[in-house]
Amino acid sequence: MQTFKTIKGLREALSAERAAGNTIGFVPTMGALHEGHLELMRRALRENDCLVVSIFVNPIQFNNKEDLEKYPRVLEEDSKILEDIGCQYLFAPDVDEMYPEPYKSEYDFGLLSEVMEAAFRPGHFNGVAIVVRKLFEIVEPTTAYFGEKDFQQLAVIQQLVKMFEMSVKIIPCSIVRENDGLAMSSRNVRLTAHERQLAPKIFQTLQKAKKLRNVLSPEELRRWTREELDAVEDFNIDYVEIAEDQQLQPFQHWNDASGAILFVALFLGKVRLIDNVRIF
């Protein structure tokens, strides 16, 4: 595997791949790699001639200083994992390399900018859009892979690609979970032992909620889910929402159509966790 800290170095290597007619699969990450990331990468390796992984903790997408400071950074371990799975290119730039000057672009994702993560993390998706657009311009991938764990992020990126008529193909990938159901996340290592024991209750509740879809209205199901999660003293809920899977607008009636997803975001101690399940 070749590791690049500079945009120029990576661009040169990738232009040789393109000149050879090779397809480029790309998985952008913030590192502290886990099985969830690796699923995306294995798929990218299967479907492309080469794989580029980026590891960059993007400061401008954090709206919480402590979250940014405490975000796990383990580049050496990550690098070994990437070697083992057969990744060809690691791009691990410093902040100065990505942002030599302050960035000012403002993106408007319409309805997607108004709900859930966008409402609770002001500026978050703008920061995501800036970095992903820049990474796409550097890597020029054939295909890029994103996890449905960050469902709204995926929707924002799909919209970004449409907005700028980018040629990259976006592939959504299912959520990878621990054996006890907890959605894998780099932030999980920050949970205390006690919090780690409580965390699977999130997915358990989402699964129970799914079973109630035929007896409760969307509003009743939102309320039921919120109450169930609220009963866990250490959970501090940001939102519980049932939304359609395109513009992520709140669902009012099951007969509206298919594509309802139940979303949750909550704090467990100091760690913010998100998860979702498809209801219909």
- Least distance (Å) from ligand AMP to the CB of residue 157? 9
Tell me the two tokens of residue 110. 């319409």
37 catalytic? Reply is yes
Query: Which member of 40, 132, 160, 202 binds ligand AMP (CB under 6 A)?
Result: 40
Residue 263 touches ligand AMP, criterion: CB under 6 A: no
Among 142, 159, 185, 276, binds ligand AMP (CB under 6 A): 185
Residues linked to residue 87 through DSSP beta bridges, in sequence order: none
Nearest to 242 by CA among 216, 204, 271: 216
Q: How far is the CB of 185 from ligand AMP (least distance, A)?
A: 6
93 binds ligand AMP (CB under 6 A): no
CB of 31 to ligand AMP, least distance (A): 6
Which pair of structure tokens corresponds to residue 25?
């699969």
240 binds ligand AMP (CB under 6 A): no
146 touching ligand AMP, by CB under 6 A: yes
Asked if 61 interacts with ligand AMP (CB under 6 A), we say: no
Shortest separation between residue 273's beta carbon and ligand AMP, angstroms: 11
Angle between helices 151-163 and 124-139 (to 10 degrees): 60
Helix or strand or coil: residue 10?
Answer: helix
SS3 content of the chain, % helix, strand, coil (to 5): 45, 20, 35
| Packing angle of the helix pair 201-211, 218-230 (nearest 10 deg) | 150
The CB-nearest residue to ligand AMP is 147
Among 221, 246, 236, 190, CA closest to 66: 190
Rounded CA separation 229/202 (Å) = 7
| Cα distances (angstroms) measured from residue 171 to each of 19, 24, 97, 141 | 24, 13, 27, 12
Which range binds ligand AMP by CB under 6 A, 100-108, 144-152, 163-171, 245-253?
144-152
Cα gap 42→20, rounded to integer Å: 22
Q: Which of 34, 37, 124, 253 is catalytic?
A: 37
What is the smallest separation between the CB atom of 7 and ligand AMP, expressed in angstroms?
19
Is 37 an interacting residue with respect to ligand AMP (CB under 6 A)?
Answer: yes
Query: Applying CB under 6 A, does 275 fall inside the site for ligand AMP?
Result: no
Contact (CB, 8 A) for 96 and 6: no
Contact residues for ligand AMP, defined by CB under 6 A: 29-30, 36-37, 40, 146-147, 149-150, 173, 175-176, 183-186
Query: Which residues are identified as catalytic?
Result: 37
